[in-house]
Amino acid sequence: MTQELIETVNVLRPGKSLVVAIDGPSGSGKSSVSKEVARRLKLAYLDTGAMYRALTWFCLQNGTDLDDGAAVETAAETLPLEISTSPEDEYVRVGGTDVTLAIREPSISAAVSAVATTLGARTELIRRQRELIEKHHRRMVVEGRDITTVVVPAAEVRMLLTASEEARLRRRGIQLGGSQNAEQLAAQVTHRDAKDSTVVNFTTAADGVVTLDSSELDFDGTVQAALDIVDTVINHPALKQSSARHRATQGD
pTM: 0.83
Is the pLDDT at 168 greater than 70, yes or no? yes
Average pLDDT of the segment spanning 64-92: 97
pLDDT digits (tens, 9 = 90+) for 96-155: 999 999 999 989 988 999 999 999 999 999 999 999 999 999 999 999 999 999 999 999
In angstroms, the CA 87 to CA 47 distance is 10
Contacts of range 68-75, beta carbons closer than 8 Å, 24 or more positions apart: 69/118, 69/119, 69/120, 69/121, 70/120, 72/114, 72/115, 72/118, 72/120, 72/121, 73/118, 73/120, 73/121, 73/123, 73/124, 75/121
Q: Report the pLDDT value the prediction gives residue 5, as an integer from 0 to 100.
A: 39
pLDDT digits (tens, 9 = 90+) for 175-202: 555 556 556 666 666 666 666 665 666 6
- Return the H-helix or E-strand segment holding 141: strand 139-144
In angstroms, the CA 103 to CA 154 distance is 30
Average pLDDT of the segment spanning 10-25: 90
Q: Report the pLDDT value the prediction gives residue 25, as an integer from 0 to 100.
A: 86
Q: Report the pLDDT value the prediction gives residue 2, as an integer from 0 to 100.
A: 35
Share of the chain above pLDDT 70, in %: 76
Is the pLDDT at 246 greater than 80, yes or no? no
pLDDT digits (tens, 9 = 90+) for 30-68: 999 999 999 999 999 999 999 999 999 999 999 999 999
- Return the H-helix or E-strand segment holding 212: strand 210-213
Q: Report the pLDDT value the prediction gives residue 242, as an integer from 0 to 100.
A: 47
CA angle 194, 169, 91 (to 5 degrees): 85
Average pLDDT of the segment spanning 231-251: 60
Q: Of 19, 10, 15, 14, which Cα lies nearest the Cα of 41?
A: 10
In angstroms, the CA 158 to CA 147 distance is 8
